Structure 1
Amino acid sequence: MKKLKYIIGAVIIAFGASMFSGCVDQIKVGDGFLEKAEGEDVDEDLIFSRKVYTEYLLWQCYEGLYSPFKNCYTLNAGLMEGLSDIMHSELGWDDIGRMFYTGNLTAANANAGWVQSRFAFISQGGIQNMSNQSKRSIWNCVRDCELLIDNIHRVPDMTDAEKARYTAEAKVILATKYLDGIRHFGGLPIVDHAFKGEDQMEEGRSSLEKTVAFAVGLLDEAIAEPNLPWNLPDADLATWAGRMTKGSAVGVKAKLLHYVASPIFNNDTPYCTEQPQDAVDARQVWYGNYDVQRWQAVVAACEQFFQMNDANGGYYKLVEASSPTEDGYRSAYRKAYRARGNKETLVEVHDRVYMTDWDQSPANVWHSGACAATLDWMEMFPWADGKEYDGQKYYGQKPAEKDIFTDRDPRLYETMVVQKRNLKYQIYGEDNPIQMWVGGEFKVCGSDWACKPWGFPTYKYVLDLGSDDQGGQGTIDDEPIQVAYLRLAEIYLIYAEALAETGKNAEALKQLNTVRRRVGLGDIEVMNRNLNLTTDKNNLIKEIMRERVCELGFECENRFHDMNRRLMVDDFKKQLRGMRVYRLDEQGNRVEKAWSKDSGEPFPTNFEYEAYDIQGSNPRFVWSNPDRWSNKWILAPLPPEEINKNYGLTQNPGWN
């Protein structure tokens, strides 16, 4: 009997209330795969002796899907979007502030102790410690998927159709792990079998092209599998929402090809020319040239998705508003990114049932300013008619001639809390509207300042998080949440970008406007004629990037990865800003106190808007001297101790 020298993760069957919540939540996965008597080894013969045990392994594979809110993937509770320009962390202990903002991260300290780089290449303690779930690496999930793929044929009480479907699901999950790794490291070792915990990694680092081909091959095999359905039947959503489908596979294929077609890899010049250059020379961190056919491959993948979706009754569709109103648009958008089992989400991750279920991020550290929205992000949202935001001209006026928070893109109000007249926060009644001005009452997070250090508390995902057990006055909704790893809105935007890159502006605009219309925005080329979007490729791509951050910001670090893949160096170096809102009396004097319905005064309508440069306790090292920036930050370092094992790893450029 072949003994397993690693533990795959304990399974506790959670029946009852959790049964409705989706495939991963039904099976609570902990630190050991099978409960067993003390001193008894778990072996492959046992795992693959019964269907139920093999299913536990498949659920373990699902548990390895990436979520930015899962502690094992955070940077000591820090959220990776805090490295982008839409959020800045004020948290005192996360690695965002301690290591990245200071510029103190090195290859040597990137995975030591509590410190973690952007993504763990290997678990702390190496392959021999792969059961360590505190800082999960790529390979934990890779190993579980390959173990299932290699051995599922042995299970006696499964049908061939079930074996084929489960194998296809594991291949899609496996491909997502390679996408995760490529986004942080570039080319990876190709692991096409289940390696053992006592073994050293056998394969060295592959070229980017070979790594991509391996992942795409897995997805193509899943797409070709007749027993993998295009979508889950509606009757299965309550129990099985979150399981992989053909739709998931084609969507992930488009997302992967989109990333690697971007300037980070698809370029005549490597993204970083600093030593060491071994990975550059081996084509592990770029293709070595620019080829428009890589963008054409993205177009083809998107068209494959839409053609297959049409052939299957158009199952996947955007969540549309029930009424063409601000509230209707907000509700539809929230359901699209947050609600389980909606028909827009292609890959949904269930890392907890409710947002209040304990985990540091974002539920706890939100209160301490770990994911605080910036003025830069607020300004990216257009006016409600679809025109570019130009409210900067009202800054500093006493009072401002226009309420800059009224008549904006409805997604703004679902993303951050702003001082919008008549905006009612969920926990407040009709007589107690939001008071975001200096001195106003905003106690939802148990503090006057902690959750809004730059003026805008994050609303996306956390909503009105602030219940008594979290130290505030608020309530949280009781709807089970998902993390949208990929949804249809992103496919439209991927398609738009690829079409623009291949010179098809008119077709790209159709895809872009499809997403905008869901929240009532006018067609972008009509509302912003000065941008010449039908002819100006560069302007169109900029607008697609802006649309991506309005639609997808704070979902699986989409903005951070966009900045990396498009080499948006100027945006990494720019000084980020916050905003102070001041309440003014009729004479134009600032009134720094809360408003009460019992005061006899009407709710304030006169405001002054003051933009300012963020400093706080965690200023970024490039703000005082942008020349300190290095393009090495575009990819993460690999652990030197793994490189020194001499199985074929190379270090990424700039990391010594």
Structure 2
Amino acid sequence: MKPYKLYIAIFSTLALSVFLSSCNKFLEENPLDTKISDQFWKTPADAQSAVNGLYFGGVPYLHNIDVDGGWTPKATMWGGIMSGLFVDKRKDRTFTNASENSTFNIESFNSTAAKLWSEYYIGISRANFVIANIPTMSGVLDQATIDNYVAQGKFFRALAYFSLVKDFGDVPLIDAPFTSTDGIYKPRTPAADIYRFIEQDLISIADGNALPDKAFYDNGCYVTKPMAQSLLAQVYLQWAGAPLNGGNEYYAKAADWALKVINGGKHALIHPNGTTADLNSAYNIIKTTKNSNEIIYAKEYNMTSYNVGNSYPARSIGADAFQWKDADNNNVFKPAGDVMYNAYLPCDMLLNSYAPQDIRIKEKQFFFRNYTDATGISHTLSNVGNWAWFDEAALKSGRDGDYNMPMIRYAEILLIAAEGLARTGKEAEARGYLNQVRRRAGLPDETASGPNLITAILTERLHEFPLEFKIWDDIRRTRLYPEADGHQSGKLKWTPLASAAIQNKPDGFTKVGAIPEYALLWPIPLGEMQANPAIQEQNPGWK
């Protein structure tokens, strides 16, 4: 892949007339016209369409990428499956089989690595074009609009580089658009310098006035100041841990930026004093809402109106549900482009680690086993289903769904604040933020201190975000792996990765040391190394 080629594709897929009032404007991707680059950046519609393109490529698009086409795990799931804490029950692709058998070699992982690498640089290329060209439109756009558009470009460039550096370590730093083939061969930049580049982008927009100080949905689903602050808090939390090991300085920074979001007052927990265990619970509102200020950032979908659908519903439930019949002997669910199968089944160890009173483990909160159809017939799944992704209307009509997918929630910001404070000696404050999340879930306040408090925070992150793809990053930055600490105890032990019993290596078995440390980074795609003579070295360990 040559990065400069990406830009030709960008302008042929952007809508050039998208001035709608709601966040659904992002979902109108059908181009009304196409322009080559030297004809672009002439009108407000050009600028708006380029900005809208940021919300589709790059990191957001990982929610649409499969391993080898349909019926396989999405790119968002790959880390969780590699961890063994989540299982692809279909098992008909190289990635899943290699992961379960700990066959961590380039041949098995090159294809998936290439998809990640390519998509991240698509996001970076789009952002670079916005950042470089929008300021040239001073005769077309007012300064406030220019500043806002550039800030959105910086957010998405930072988001893409953050994902890229976590997945690959040292990577080429491309900070401006290519307009020719000159200089396209970039060597790998040290990861520490990539983090500093991300920091520079985010600090420039997280405290200024270019981005609105609003909640995500209140801002029409465009980038907000709390989004930038939240991403910076995530960056510092990861930076504090392995492999850079920034330590307390960066844990403190993570907490400081999380506290800016908290004290900013634009976001809050749904049902902060405790929620119900029914379909009106906070967790069901998180699933279905398109207006809650608990959501700081979400991947948008709208199949009904714009034919941009969420295909997670087909991965929420096992293939046995295809056989369910109602009282009239009709199929309960209809096949669509995605066959129903559970590509991300939480392992039994994780499910059994929740305390019985934890609302999140109760039926039809995050997970489910039972479903009653419209004719009153009850059905039971062979394996647990992922209720957080289940979309009844979509599955009954045989199409993708409409629910948005949370990418950053306020609960995560509370837990980042808790961890950053706990690791820098401010334990009373840390417990306060941790216990906000626990209290909402129906759990008693945590009173632990020292290492036990850190363990409690890490456990809470896994229990609160089992289906939001946080665990692989947590394993990578801590080099710790969750193990059982009593049946339904509400606790987990976090054991050094090298000595931990890794789940489902293969399915149904544990294996100590099944994930070598080098596998926490993806291999540099072979096609990229062959195309770019400036990249000479593969990530250590990959053969």
TM-score category of the 2 structures, normalised to the smaller one: 0.7 to 0.9
2:142: which partner in 1?
Answer: 159
Match of 2:253 in 1: 297
Equivalent of 1:652 in 517, 523, 539: 539
Could you give the per-residue CA deviations for residues 146-174 of structure 1, whole angstroms, max 9, x where no partner exists?
A: 11111112333211111111111111111
Residue 10 of structure 1, aligned match among 5, 10, 13: 13
Give the 3-state SS of the residue equivalent to 2:178 in structure 1.
coil
Q: Distance in 2 between the 1:101 and 1:60 partners?
A: 36
Give the share of equivalent positions with the same residue, in percent. 19
TM-superposed deviation, 1:566: 1.7
Could you say what the CA RMSD is over the residues aligned between the two structures, in angstroms?
3.7
In the alignment, is residue 325 of structure 1 matched against residue 276 of structure 2?
yes
Partner SS, residue 417 of structure 1 = strand
Query: Which amino acid letter does the alignment assign opposite residue 387 of structure 2?
Result: Y
Shift of 1:207: 1.7
- Assess if the C-alpha contact under 8 Å between 2:462 and 2:471 holds in 1: yes
Aligned to 1:383: 356
Q: Deviations over 1:331-376 (max 9, x none)?
A: 2223235522321122222155469965654525842221223212
CA distance in 2, matches of 1:176, 1:5: 19
Q: CA deviation at 1:622?
A: 11
1:99 matched residue in structure 2 = 98
Aligned to 1:120: 116
The answer for the alignment partner of 1:563 in structure 2 is 475
Q: Is the 8 A contact 1:67 1:483 kept in 2?
A: no
**In the TM superposition, what whole-angstrom CA distance separates every residue of 1:214-272 from its partner, at most 9, and x where no partner exists?**
001101111243232111597xx4xx532101111111000111112123431xxxxxx
Instruction: Pick the aligned partner of 2:222 from 217, 239, 243.
Output: 243
Q: CA deviation at 1:88?
A: 0.8
Alpha-carbon distance between aligned partners in 1 of 2:216 and 2:396, rounded to the nearest angstrom: 39
1:485 alignment partner, SS class? strand
Identify unmatched segments of 5+ residues in structure 2.
Answer: 318-339, 488-500
Partner of 2:490: none
Inter-CA distance 172–22: structure 2 relative to 1 (3 Å threshold): same
User: Take 1:187 and 1:377, find their aligned partners in 2: how far apart are those partners?
Assistant: 33
Q: Which amino acid aligns with 1:520?
A: G
Q: Deviations over 1:601-649 (max 9, x none)?
A: xxxxxxxxxxxx999xx96289475455422211111123433533246
Q: Is the 8 A contact 2:57 2:123 kept in 1?
A: yes
Counterpart of 2:65, as a letter, is C
Q: Who is 2:120 aligned against?
A: 138
Whose helix proportion is higher, 1 or 2? Answer: 2
Corresponding residue number in structure 2 for 1:506: 428
SS of 2:170's equivalent in the other structure is coil
Distance across 1 between alignment mates of 2:539 and 2:68 = 20
Match among 634, 638, 641 for residue 524 of structure 2: 638
SS at match of 1:460: helix
When the two structures are superposed, what TM-score results if normalisation uses the length of structure 2?
Answer: 0.80
Letter in 1 for 2:420: A
Q: Is the 8 A contact 2:16 2:32 kept in 1?
A: no
Is 1:373–2:349 an aligned residue pair? no
CA separation of 1:496/1:304 partners in 2, compared to 1, >3 Å: closer, same or farther?
same
Structure 2 residue aligned with 1:603: none
Alignment match, 2:406: 484
Q: How has the CA–CA distance of structure 1 residues 619 and 464 changed in structure 2, closer, same or farther, with 3 Å as cutoff?
A: farther
CA distance in 2, matches of 1:59, 1:350: 12
Per the alignment, in what secondary structure is the counterpart of residue 346 of structure 1? strand
Query: Which of 338, 342, 352 is 2:292 aligned to?
Result: 342
Does the Cα contact within 8 Å between 2:186 and 2:535 map onto a contact in 1? yes
> Where do 5+ consecutive residues of structure 1 fail to align?
37-41, 123-136, 267-289, 387-407, 420-424, 434-440, 443-447, 526-532, 578-612
In structure 1, the partner of 2:242 is: 263
Give per-residue Cα distances to partners, 1:538-581, cap 9 Å, x unaligned.
221221111111211111x112222222213575xx9xx9xxxx
Equivalence for 2:327: none
Query: What letter is aligned with 2:472?
Result: F
**Aligned partner of residue 29 in structure 2, secondary structure:** strand
Structure-2 residue corresponding to 1:35 = 33
| Partner SS for 1:491 | helix
State the one-letter code of the partner of 2:341. Answer: S
Q: CA separation in 2, counterparts of 1:201 and 1:562? A: 34
Structure 1 residue aligned with 2:24: 22
1:65–1:177 contact (8 Å) kept in structure 2: yes
Structure-2 separation of matches of 1:325 and 1:175: 37
> Structure 1 residues 48, 499: CA separation in 2 closer, same or farther (over 3 Å shift)?
same
Larger Rg: 1
Compared with structure 1, are the counterparts of its residues 28 and 182 closer, same or farther at alpha carbon in structure 2 (3 Å cutoff)?
same
Matched, 1:149 2:131: yes
Would the alpha carbon gap of residues 95 and 344 (structure 1) be closer, same or farther in structure 2, given more than 3 Å must change?
Answer: farther
User: Matches of 2:7 and 2:303 in 1, distance apart?
Assistant: 32
Map 1:382-401 → 2, pairs under 5 A: 382-384=355-357
Q: Aligned pair 1:550/2:469, yes or no?
A: no
Decide which of 247, 260, 266 is 1:315's aligned counterpart.
Answer: 266
Shift of 1:305: 2.9
Secondary structure at 2:54 match in 1: helix
Contact 2:170 2:191 in 1 (8 A): yes
Does residue 462 of the first structure (1) align with residue 390 of the second (2)? Answer: yes
Distance, in Å, in 2 between the alignment partners of 1:102 and 1:252 is 34
In 1, the alpha carbon distance for the partners of 2:478 and 2:526 equals 27
For the Cα contact (< 8 Å) 1:263–1:565, is it kept in 2? yes
Q: 1:354 to 1:415 in 2, by over 3 A?
A: farther
| 8 A Cα contact 1:205 1:648, kept in partner | yes
1:210-221 residue pairs with structure 2 within 5 A? 210-221=193-204
Residues 349-358 or 167-176, more deviating: 349-358
TM-superposed CA distance for 1:109, in Å, is: 5.3
Kindly provide the CA deviation profile for residues 449-470 of structure 1, in whole angstroms up to 9, marking residues without a partner as x: 4xx2xxx122112254773444
Aligned to 2:494: none
1:414 aligns with 2:365: yes
Which residue number corresponds to residue 190 of structure 1?
A: 173
Within 1, Cα distance between the matches of 2:98 and 2:477? 22
